Structure formats: structure tokens, C-alpha cells
Amino acid sequence: DTGVSQDPRHKITKRGQNVTFRCDPISEHNRLYWYRQTLGQGPEFLTYFQNEAQLEKSRLLSDRFSAERPKGSFSTLEIQRTEQGDSAMYLCASPGPSQGVEQYFGPGTRLTVT
């Protein structure tokens, strides 16, 4: 257990529906990252928060995606008008206990769009 939790673990939705995922990072860590992983690929960066500020967004993050981190604590990732290509594992990560460069990942949310 890395201390990073994600909810839900699995989500099945129909194309066109909106979905929201939640990440609770290791407490008191100001950095939080979202990644997406498709089958046979390594995780790909989506977006990064320092406290409540969203400092960087990948080109993978289309305008249907939005992420927030109110009060610099938990974070949410919302996908609007889901498409089948959005089916993937969505991973959240935060630094480890030493606040070093290592990133510790949560269990992920598996999204299936039918």
C-alpha cells in the first residue's frame, strides 16, 4: 500500500456519458500527477498539480478532460462525452515519504467505455 488511494477502481460507462475519478494522495505532499495507461504501453503523463495549482497539461488532455485539486488535497479528473478511445487505466501518483523525485502510484481506475 503506497498511501495513494483512487476511487472507483473500475468504471464502465456508455459512450457520451461523463465520468469523474478521485485521487487521495499521500497526505501533506504538495505534488500530484495524473497518468493514463493503455494496454501494452507504459503510463503517459496527463497533468500535474503543485498544491491547488494545475501547472502543466499534456497534449493528451483534450478539452473534454478537466482536473481539479481544491485546497491542495484530493484531486478529481473528469472526462466529458466519453469516447471508446478513452478506455484505459487512469493512474494518480505523488512523491514518496522523502518528498524526493520518486513517484508512488495508486491502484488506478480502470475505465471501460462501451
Under the rule (CB under 8 A), what is the footprint of another protein?
Answer: 2, 4, 6, 33, 35, 40-45, 48, 55-56, 58, 91, 96, 100-108, 110
Query: CA 43, 73, 1: angle at the middle one, nearest 5?
Result: 55
55: left (phi over 0), alpha (psi -120 to 50) or beta: alpha
Shortest distance (Å) from residue 100 CB to another protein: 7
Indicate the residue among 93 and 113 with the shorter CB distance to another protein: 93
Indicate the residue among 56 and 83 with the shorter CB distance to another protein: 56
Is the bond into 8 cis (omega within 30 degrees of 0)?
yes
Phi, psi (5° rounding) for residue 10? -135, 145
Shortest distance (Å) from residue 84 CB to another protein: 20
Shortest distance (Å) from residue 33 CB to another protein: 6
